[in-house]
Structure 1
Amino acid sequence: MGIPSATSSLDRDALPSLSGVRVIDLSMFLAGPYCTQQLADLGAEIIKIEPKDGDSTRALPPHFHEGESLYFLGTNRSKKGMVLDLAQAEGRAVVHRLAATADVVIDNFRPGVTAKLEVDFATLSRINPRIICCSISGYGQDGPYARRPAYDMIVQALSGGMSLTGEPGARAVRAGVPIGDICAGLHAVIGVLAALREREQSGLGQFVDISMLDVQVAMLSYQGVYHLYSGEVPGRQGRGHASIPTYASFQAADEQDVLICANTEKMWVALCEVLELPDLPGDSRFLTNELRHAHRAELEPLLTQAFARHGRDEWLARLTARGVPCAPVNSVADALADEQVRHRGMVCTIEHTLGGEIGVLGNPVKMSRSPSAPFRSPPLLGQHTEEILRELEYPPEQIGALRARGVVA
């Protein structure tokens, strides 16, 4: 199956859902750019403002296309790019003029920086009372840690989530994908969409405060609630589930892992039939999930021994035929080649401005009428500066003067 076009749509007359929404993106690295890329995929116009040296991820190794890091290219598609020196008053004036035309401003500065640069909500809302400003920071705008720097792994560690990740008895490890950044970016999208909806009622914008640590603590989910109720401190979760013994990974005869999620009684019975363990469903120790949980130390060796009798693919075929949810542990290469992933358009290509194609991941939000916005090449550094200044009615001679003074590039 070939790679589908990122611009394909079932209804070419419909507009993307956020068409007409203008977003000023002052963020860099991952959390903020991930947020604004999601908004771009939904149709918002994103104007990415960078310093003269650019977003630091433009130079992040190991992979580059036409001198641009794939890290940057992977989180900045479909944006317009502008270079501004916000340390200069004339640079801030450009943002102020742009804010008068915008709906949303996203930043991931530490608290206090936007006020120093005069691009904070208090300043911008005086220019445009409908503006929505969203700041993504490590710890939020207040509290004893507010001014501390934070990164993805820092908040994973502080939140307690990292303590759950890894094999029992081993050292804690961070999640393999940067959930501290990505989930903060996604919650910023949620906050922005909620503020846009509320603005339809009030006519006013507001400030959205997203803390990476808050998001990670919220993601503790039932583990956090279990602790608050019982006082018990959960440890490494390994390949299993704290509540469901048959929600786990087992090694097949070929030493490949088989994941199963037999979390209903019907699935439990089907699992036992597939594993040729017909006596287990009637065993008094395993009659309910609560009993299986209480006797998991006795149950797990039985399941482990059974899975060791055949190879992974045979088990996957048998389990699938009986309706037991199961999966292999795919590599990234396996996942991106998977027929379901390809069918859903989650692997796409973009023509880069400087030539050649780059592979990108698709938009996971599918709507019945509103299409995903067409994917466009991530911007070159300052690619759209002049275009945006002209739209803001800066005359050519003033644009030239701003360039000469290093205000824009």
Structure 2
Amino acid sequence: MASQSSNGSDAIKRLVEDFPEHTPRPAGAKLPLEGIRVVDFTHYIAGPFATMILADMGADVIKVEAPGKGDDFRHYPPMQAEVEAGPPFMWANRNKRGVALDLKSESGLATARALIAKADVVVENFSTGVMDRLGLSYERCRANNPGLVFCSVSAYGRTGVSADRLGFDPIAQAESGFIAMNGYADREGVRALSPVMDISTALMVSNSILGALFARQNSGKGQQIEVALFDTAVMMTGYAPLQQIVTGKEPQRGGNTSPDTCPSGVFYAKDRPFLINSGNTQIFQRLLIQVLEMPEAAANQDFATNKDRVARREEINALLQEAFSQQPWAYWQERMRKANVPCGVLRTAGEAIRSPEARERRLVTRLEHPDLGWLPNISLPIRYSETPLADPKPAPKIGEHTGSVLDDWLGYSGAVIDELAGAGAFGRNRKG
């Protein structure tokens, strides 16, 4: 993102040079979730990213925030005063409309109830019990809207001894066993810097909502959904828990090396590191014969099966490293691609988004923005042939669309909106 400073001007220049302008979707094309209305009471990452997926699919997502401060995630750096948010918030809240409601006021609560009565979906990730205390529980909401899909996102579920616990992505990584699996054996496990548990929870939330909407087509009934961050984090440990159950042994940290296949991991060409993953014997044979020209090693019966190779990992890795160190990455990349050996160079985040693969897929584009000039946008990895995703629009300012939403959804006139404002529905001294 850029701001209106000299540094901001430089950032805009780099943005224009590095990323193409977004290409609009075909005129007249339908949207996958066209006509679906979502009231979004979520904050931080898991809930907002899930509702953003629905918004990208064409749902009318109304992000409800407290007046003034809004979602705490807005303030993650670097803060951009012009849009009342930093890049993290903008990343997770594209294509939504913003409504500011004071849920501590009766008029604000009444407005929230009116929006929910018109909604297809409600998503919330308040602490357990908050929606009940507000009178916005699923039972209360479905009484006026039996077709409502109501999704609660929590750290440990809404029932049980941990229902009251707060939780963030790193805590879920720690308690699920994920951290213990990752890193190197000679030190403590390490967390993933990317919020992998929040993002994967968001995927579970959006998928569960799509399933409930599909089920409603047949039954005419909505339903309650619950997705917990901890549950998702356990899922994200993959098949390791089942291996532990069968063997009784905990997964061992191996850095960038897979414990289940060999050779796999990071090797060093003459100029830079790269990773290969030899998932079966056929790939291993192609690597030795076609890439490295080592037919004798390929014929070695000590390396015949994956089990044999895992047992001789250090020997094989030393053999490969000695060969790889003789030539630069470009040389090995070409040979491995021709031999169909899975490999990839180790990139930084900046290198990845400017890579040929990302450019060809148009994963990062730029959008015009009235306050910032241009805004970077990272697209979802979904390509529909008949119902392309919505064109990206910047995340809303706090309450930016309050008036238009109350008009569109509820038919409120300007006078009614002014009356609500006077009653404190939008916070003190704030208009719709």
**Letter in structure 2 aligned against 1:116:** R
Q: Which amino acid aligns with 1:28?
A: H
Structural mapping, 1:241-260, within 5 Å: 241-254=258-271, 256-260=272-276
2:158 corresponds to which of 134, 137, 141: 141
**Offset of residue 63 of structure 1:** 4.6
1:293 is aligned to 310
Query: Does residue 1:333 correspond to 2:357, yes or no?
Result: no
Partner of 1:41: 56
Q: Give the aligned residue type for 1:271.
A: L
CA contact (8 A) 1:163 1:173 kept: yes
Kindly indicate whether the alpha-carbon contact (under 8 Å) linking 2:367 and 2:374 is maintained by their aligned counterparts in 1: yes
Question: Structure 1 residue aligned with 2:202, among 172, 177, 185?
Answer: 185
Gaps of 5+ in 2: 1-16
Aligned mates of 1:50, 1:249 — CA distance in 2: 45
Q: How do 1:117-128 residues align onto structure 2 when only pairs under 5 Å count?
A: 117-128=134-145
Residue matched to 2:425: 407
Alignment-derived partner of residue 39 in structure 2? 24
Greater CA drift, 302-311 or 202-211: 302-311
> Is 1:359 equivalent to 2:376 in the alignment?
yes
Contact 1:351-1:376 at 8 Å conserved across structures: no
Report which stretch shifted further, 200-209 or 307-316. Answer: 307-316
- Distance across 2 between alignment mates of 1:117 and 1:7: 43
Separation (CA, whole Å) in 2 of partners of 1:323 and 1:102: 50
Q: Give the SS at the match of 2:142.
A: helix
CA 1:390–1:355: 2 relative to 1, 3 Å: same
Write the deviation string for residues 188-214 of structure 1: whole angstroms up to 9, x where unpaired.
Answer: 001101111111111111111010010
* AA matched with 1:403: A
The residue that corresponds to 2:13 in the other structure is none
Work out the percentage of aligned pairs sharing the same amino acid. 33
User: Could you tell me which of 159, 168, 173 is aligned with 2:176?
Assistant: 159
Paired residues for 1:1-400 under 5 Å: 3-9=19-25, 11-52=26-67, 53-64=69-80, 66=82, 67-254=84-271, 256-273=272-289, 274-391=291-408, 392-400=410-418
Distance of 1:13 and 1:331 partners within structure 2: 39
CA contact (8 A) 1:351 1:377 kept: no
Matches of 1:37 and 1:241 in 2, distance apart? 34
Report the 3-state secondary structure (helix = DSSP H, G, I; strand = E; otherwise coil) of the residue aligned with 1:221. Answer: coil
Q: Distance in 1 between matches of 2:275 and 2:390?
A: 35
Structure 2 letter corresponding to 1:148: R
User: How many pairs align?
Assistant: 407
* CA pair 34-161 structure 1, distance change in 2 beyond 3 A: same
Q: In 1, Cα distance between the equivalents of 2:23 and 2:143?
A: 38
- What code does the residue aligned with 2:347 have? N
CA distance in structure 1 between the partners assigned to 2:374 and 2:221 by the alignment: 42
- Cα distance in structure 2, aligned partners of 1:56 and 1:230: 44
1-side partners of 2:19 and 2:314: how far apart? 46
Q: Distance in 2 between matches of 1:260 and 1:13?
A: 44
User: Once the 2 structures are TM-superposed, how far is the Cα of residue 84 of structure 1 from its aligned partner?
Assistant: 0.3
> Which letter maps to 1:143?
G
1:308-358, Cα deviation, whole Å (9 max, x unpaired) = 222222222221122111110111111111122122121022223434111
Q: Distance in 2 between matches of 1:227 and 1:277?
A: 36
Q: Which range moves more in the overlay, 388-397 or 50-59?
A: 388-397
Provide structure 1 residue ranges, at least 5 long, that are not aligned to the other structure.
none
**Distance change >3 Å, CA 331–CA 170, structure 1 → 2:** same
Q: CA RMSD in A?
A: 1.7
1:4 and 1:99 mapped to 2: Cα distance? 39
Using the alignment, how far apart are the partners of 1:2 and 1:17 within structure 2? 30
Task: Extract structure 1 runs of 4+ deviating beyond 6 A.
Answer: none
Counterpart secondary structure, 1:348 = strand
Matched letter for residue 177 of structure 1: S
Q: Deviations over 1:25-83 (max 9, x none)?
A: 10111111111111111111110000012111222222526253111111111110000
Q: CA offset at residue 5 of structure 1?
A: 4.3
Query: Cα offset for 1:266?
Result: 2.4
Contact 2:33 2:58 in 1 (8 A): yes
8 Å CA contact retained: 1:258, 1:327: yes
Does structure 2 conserve the Cα–Cα contact (< 8 Å) formed by 1:6 and 1:362? no
Secondary structure at the counterpart of residue 35 of structure 2: coil
Instruction: Return the offset for 1:219.
Output: 1.4
Tell me the distance in 2 between the aligned counterparts of 1:112 and 1:68.
28
- Write the letter of the residue equivalent to 2:356: E
Query: Contact 2:108–2:424 at 8 Å: present in 1 too?
Result: no
Q: 2:239 aligns to what SS in structure 1?
A: helix
**TM-score, structure 2 as length reference:** 0.90
Letter in 1 for 2:330: D
Preserved CA contact (<8 Å) 2:48 2:93 = yes
Normalised to the residue count of structure 1, the TM-score between the two structures is 0.95
Check the 8 A contact 1:258/1:316 in 2, yes or no: no
SS of the residue aligned with 1:57? helix
